[in-house]
A and B are shown apart, each in its own frame.
Chain A
């Protein structure tokens, strides 16, 4: 079983920071509104403060490391295995012959770190490998495509 790219931790941290920042901004806006307009908005502001703090404390510091630590995958000629989840552990087997298409996808953050996300779709479900280096993602995508063609038996 293989780990995904370690830079994924950084990307997830930035994700956490962004959502924490949004919560803090909302907190400030709601607090100002609450002070000058409706007092009940202060409760909402407090809620966002809590969400922001939780984001900052957990989703920036701990969770990314654990997520990386607990995500593993294996790709061979006949199947893909993905192991995901920190507390809710999930093993998924996707036979090569059942894969309908493979996509390498990049958001702006992933692109900045030269990473890509691999999306593996069967007829009924989509499975993700969240962060691979671009080269590796493309290589895997091509390899998967080749395997899929080789094992294109039927459904």
Chain B
């Protein structure tokens, strides 16, 4: 049995420390200020535990290459033994960071089909030669992972076109990446802490004194406080996005895309075109108001690298250039504008569904709760969202291609084709029936699972058109056609 390189300890240690980083930052911001000097000891204790577990993990992670399988022993507290057959291994993912590069080491992850998004087996640091040897043994029965490796180590692929996120674009992409999330995060933190906020937080107190001097109105003071907290959250999440998207490059090759990004740790993802289930053009409200969009992918099968079921293909692109961009990167699904008619009745129904209940709540709050009148902002926001949402629920079909427009918080256009949609449901509630509306639900594969999504409140006639388009393909003759055309098998576990 072999072990990973001893520097694994540090790699694992830093990885665990990184997970602790956010709580530490938040703790520092929101002033856990003990005067008894105990907090330093707590921090040291935490770091010690991290180090201890990193050592144990390194010591207890062992592997051995058998004839046609990999035998691994893992587990810090509970020992686990696993036999991973080579043919079950979908990809061997190698990555490096500056620290590992210094010692000629790589991080190795073994991904299998049907597993969770997490790697089945990972070595935080292993000699490059050893990784290559492993790759050779396993790669013999697995072509695609061989290609993965060559891309990581050689960097001499005959790439055709490279798209790079330049400095200004990167900053803009980072600043507009958070959208609604940051507002929710900020507001929830505020709701949870609003009582203690004023007294406890170290950096708020002087701010508050200043505000009080300048403004002197309690309500405005509170508003300024809220704005300040939101600003901090926004900057924080922008910084995280910046680190994630640093040095973002998209390389278009003959049969796949290579996506590289990362500041501390450069990750690399290879997305074969034939595994792409859908291309999603997403505009959060920040991006939409500046006329930008970002491009995401749903990709079937286990992903090497990030583990997220959704792949960021390109973070920032001008909305009017999306069609041109998708054509240039040889996207399997070209851009199409959802053109199906929308109905103002959908807006009325959304008002009844979302705005009216919130308005009732806001009335109650403003009568009985101090500062409750601020909840009318929420009513206004839901009103705006209803207005935008009703106009974004649409679709367009062209042969087998389909573009589905929808909005939850961000506007999203899903570009895909009929056979990628796993099912289609049409749902009509009694009120919708009266208003001649319909909600369409469908599902797409992403990662090892999938998800369902809804397009709410399409006009009944348009919804029926979509339903007919979906079902008519599956008549007998169409099926024969399908069988003949689709020789390539894109997703097989």
The residues of A with any CB-CB pair to B shorter than 8 Å are 77-79, 81, 85, 87-98, 122-125, 127, 151, 153-155
**A125-B443 in contact given A78-B476, A89-B428 (Cβ < 8 Å):** yes
Question: Could you say which residues of chain B place their CB within 8 Å of the CB of A95?
Answer: 419, 423, 473-474
Question: Could you say which residues of chain B place their CB within 8 Å of the CB of A81?
Answer: 471
Question: Could you say which residues of chain A place their CB within 8 Å of the CB of B420?
Answer: 155
Question: Could you say which residues of chain B place their CB within 8 Å of the CB of A96?
Answer: 474, 479
B491 touches A155 (CB 8 A): yes
**Interface pick from B79-87, B397-405, B444-452:** B444-452
Q: How far is the CB of A55 from chain B (nearest CB, A)?
A: 22
A90 touches B426 (CB 8 A): yes
Q: Which residue of A lies closest to B424 (CB)?
A: A93
Q: How far is the CB of A117 from chain B (nearest CB, A)?
A: 18
Q: Which residue of B lies closest to A86 (CB)?
A: B430
B422 touches A122 (CB 8 A): yes
B290 at the interface (CB under 8 A from A): no
Question: Could you say which residues of chain A place their CB within 8 Å of the CB of B428?
Answer: 88-90
B101 at the interface (CB under 8 A from A): no
B156 at the interface (CB under 8 A from A): no
CA gap between A151 and B478 in the complex, in Å: 12
CA gap between A98 and B445 in the complex, in Å: 11
Q: How far is the CB of B461 from chain A (nearest CB, A)?
A: 15
B490 at the interface (CB under 8 A from A): yes
CA gap between A77 and B478 in the complex, in Å: 12
CA gap between A72 and B482 in the complex, in Å: 27
Partner of B444, one of A77, A94, A124: A124
Instruction: Give the number of residues in B that approach A within 8 Å (Cβ atoms).
Output: 39
CA gap between A8 and B482 in the complex, in Å: 37
B158 at the interface (CB under 8 A from A): no
B483 touches A151 (CB 8 A): yes
Partner of B452, one of A88, A89, A90, A124: A124
A94 touches B423 (CB 8 A): yes
Q: Which residue of B lies closest to A122 (CB)?
A: B422
Question: Could you say which residues of chain B place their CB within 8 Å of the CB of A78?
Answer: 474-476, 478-479
CA gap between A89 and B476 in the complex, in Å: 27
**A125-B452 in contact given A78-B479, A93-B471 (Cβ < 8 Å):** yes
B339 at the interface (CB under 8 A from A): no
B277 at the interface (CB under 8 A from A): yes
B467 at the interface (CB under 8 A from A): yes
Partner of B445, one of A77, A123, A153: A123
B425 at the interface (CB under 8 A from A): yes
CA gap between A111 and B428 in the complex, in Å: 33
A123 touches B470 (CB 8 A): no
A124 touches B427 (CB 8 A): no
Question: Could you say which residues of chain B place their CB within 8 Å of the CB of A77?
Answer: 476, 479
Give 14 A-B pairs besides A93-B471, A155-B445 with Cβ atoms closer than 8 angstroms.
A77-B476, A78-B475, A79-B474, A85-B427, A87-B429, A89-B428, A90-B428, A93-B474, A96-B479, A97-B479, A124-B449, A124-B452, A125-B443, A154-B419
Question: Could you say which residues of chain A place their CB within 8 Å of the CB of B451?
Answer: 124
Q: How far is the CB of A118 from chain B (nearest CB, A)?
A: 15
**A91-B430 in contact given A79-B471, A155-B277 (Cβ < 8 Å):** no
Contact with A along B475-493 (1 / 0, CB 8 A): 1101100110010111110
B424 touches A92 (CB 8 A): yes
Q: Which residue of A lies closest to B450 (CB)?
A: A124
Which of A78, A94, A124 has most chain B Cβ within 10 Å? A124
User: Sorted from nearest, which 3 A-B pairs have the closest CB atoms?
Assistant: A124-B443, A124-B450, A78-B474
Partner of B427, one of A89, A93, A98, A154: A89
Q: How far is the CB of A153 from chain B (nearest CB, A)?
A: 5
Question: Could you say which residues of chain A place their CB within 8 Å of the CB of B483?
Answer: 151, 153
B415 at the interface (CB under 8 A from A): no
B300 at the interface (CB under 8 A from A): yes
Question: Could you say which residues of chain A place their CB within 8 Å of the CB of B470?
Answer: 93
CA gap between A97 and B173 in the complex, in Å: 40
Q: Which residue of B lies closest to A155 (CB)?
A: B491
A93 touches B423 (CB 8 A): yes
Q: How far is the CB of B395 from chain A (nearest CB, A)?
A: 15
CA gap between A87 and B467 in the complex, in Å: 20
